[in-house]
Structure 1
Amino acid sequence: MARSVSLLPMALLALGAWMLSSLTQSGFVMNSATPRGSKVAMRGFKDDFYAWKETLSSEDQALLLKQAQNEFNKKFRASDEFKKSVSEDKIESFGKVLQKFFDNEREDYKKDVAMKTPDYDALQKKANQVAYDFSLKRAVIEVDRDADRRWSFATDKMKLAEDKDEVAPNSAPLEEVYLFANEGENHTNNVKQLEAMKKAMEDASAPAEAAKIKKMLEGFKIPAAGEDFSVQLPRKLIDDLKATAGGIAAQKEGKSDSELDEMWWKQAGELVAGYYKQREEVEKDVEGLKKFFRSQKDMPGKTKADIVKQIWKELPKHMDTPVAPLDEEMLVDLAKEPAVIEGEFKHSWGTAEKLYKSEAIDSFGNRYLLGVFENKADAEKAFDSWNKEYEQAGKDVKENLKNWAKQQEAELAEEQDSVDRIRKALEEARR
């Protein structure tokens, strides 16, 4: 027993001597993977160890170093020198140094384990922190059906002209406000140009639409000198006139002012006349299409088969060749469909000048079409009605989730003992 007691201080001193040797060797490099807490603890131990070392005599230091260096030398271990020891108070004070080091290491280990232990409720906490806005926003968008029709007819005319290697005027009706300076010489030029335009429309070579253009010009008056004025004009027409003026200016070499003026008024007159002619034709087509859809007649009790038979009855009056007989199977299928489908009689998409599209926009920017209506008030009502149902559905979902959560919590409460045991086992396994 005495041997065992004496070996413990010797082992502690040997451990201290080994640490001292490791810390003082020039080639020693601390492992970079050592945790930060261990580095701090090791530095603290180093300071405490050096402080304890200063209390030893030179003989004691030499003895401990020799014992540490010959720890695995069997011959030395059998000698009396190996069995020598420093005083009991030195051994006891060194034991306190080691105890402090091991206590610090234990605390650091506990902190590391606590940091690595997962938070089992992290997802639930995260979900509780985030509040999403699922409300909808209303959007009422005006749909200019006349503009759609104009674009369709104008595009068709331009394509037909292109097929014939001709150029159809672009009759886009978009207008912008143009400001004209009207001081001094500018006023004089404005008056002259207006009169020249009127006179050009009276010329025999003027286009057929000249009378209408002149009437429009007669209704316009140049303000008094010094008063600038603005005119709302078709942007496309003005752009074309500017391009024409630029082309004439490029040909001024060798031509007199009167010749250039004649070129300008001739080309500008043709350009203006062509623009308004095309624009008027497009407007007639637009009105004709609306008139066509508005001419629909209600035919209660009639089917599509009745309509086809009526058309086939009229066809021979307008054709030089015999009309093929109708397919009986087709007539049977058409007889199942009413002549006028419910809700499509004189449909507003074909008859209205403007319509209003009602949309709902969610918090993610997604848009949902609720319908197309003839007036803005109906479009707004459609959103209000739909949004009311949407909000109620959201409340129902929240209530269902709340009830589901309660049910899950109740089930977890019944198994809480098992959960606690598992958590405790996991925590103990990490110690």
Structure 2
Amino acid sequence: MTPLDLTWRLDPLAILLLVLVVGIAAAVLPFAHRSLRGDRRGRAVTIAIAGMLAATALLVVAGELWMLAAAWSLATAATLAALGLGGGRPALRRAGPWLVLGDLVLWLAVVLAATGTAGQAPAVLLVVAAALRCALPPAHPWLVDSLYAPTPVSAALHGGIVNGGGILVITQFALIAGSPIAVTLLAALGAVAIVAGVLAALVRTDIKGRLVASTVAQMGFMLLVAALGLLAAALLHLVAHGFYKSALFLSSSDGIDRRAADRRAPRPLPISATERRARAAAGALLPIAALVAVALVLYPGGRGPAELLLLIVIGTAFAAAGARVAALAPSRLRALGLTALLAVGAVAFAGVTSALTGMLGLTRPADLAAQPVALAVALLAVVALAGLAAVRRWAPTGRVALVLLALGHRLGSGVVRVERPRESRPAPAPNHAPQPQPQTA
């Protein structure tokens, strides 16, 4: 089989990713048509968004690496067109260089992979290209600057284009897994993105800015999970994030109305501190118990430290959500219902992950290189997040907290400031009035 063979893939993995792309297109394109109807460039922006999603669909079904790179470049061209038409020069100032650099890196990987004599270089270049498309630091400012473009462009970016990096890693993981350098780099970039995204989200006060920072952190988490060889969990996270984040962007303009409705809503009945703690404990324990029970049934012998670490992270997330909703629920019945719903979500996560692993064949490669290093990096990321939470909880005004907030401002305030030319003011007219003479004695 030569590198120029024209083959398409329609396996279950490609079909699932096509469902993601088509679903996002069905939501974003009608919204763009309605919201941009009064804009003189609205139709062109809508066509560019359609081009972005169509190129992503080609990326999903590409059977050869060079075909994937061609679809990748088409998606880049459509993205730059949508940003330029919708946001002008400020939206392109940093997006253009970073996205084009990602294309060049990917095509270099294609050329080196075709020769077959480049060693680990193609795998490393694939990781770099994926990190640039996923807007991982230091490339995250291009995604921040995309906020100059209209909301439908952001929804298509975060639901489809940014996920292209994850699609590249998952579909080409057989090549990446054999390179210790590539696996270590993938894990390190993902861990840095998680911490940087969380820090940036803490200081952004606007809705869309916080969504951008959240995307950086979520993409980092997805790539870190993939570096551990947990491809089914990474794929599930990619699909869920695409639908969820595009929906959040399309509804971001309703944030003020939701805040106003929350203020008008009746306050929950006051409860004692003891009952609040009991609710929080019950809300945390029920989802964790459901997740652990299903995990033990589906994986009776356990899989390894990577699966255990992922189980701990996911269990912590469900526990935090359960404790919060149970403590803030207006009644005990509502608290029980919300906690039970979270337990169902935990069971669904474990079940769907297991089903995807078997149905799509997304098992960890037997020759996965540098997995202990990737696991150590993941542990460091978990420790860093735990330390950040401890600082926010017990020392929110200390020196460490102030340093972290300053770093978050530097990471989150990536919007380009356009300097306006100063208006020329006429020089003041000379005063020809006679000056008073000093009086002499």
Q: TM-score range by the shorter chain?
A: under 0.3
TM-score by length of 1: 0.18
TM-score by length of 2: 0.18
Whose helix fraction is larger, Structure 1's or Structure 2's?
2
Whose strand fraction is larger, Structure 1's or Structure 2's?
1
Asked which structure has the greater CA Rg, the reply is 1
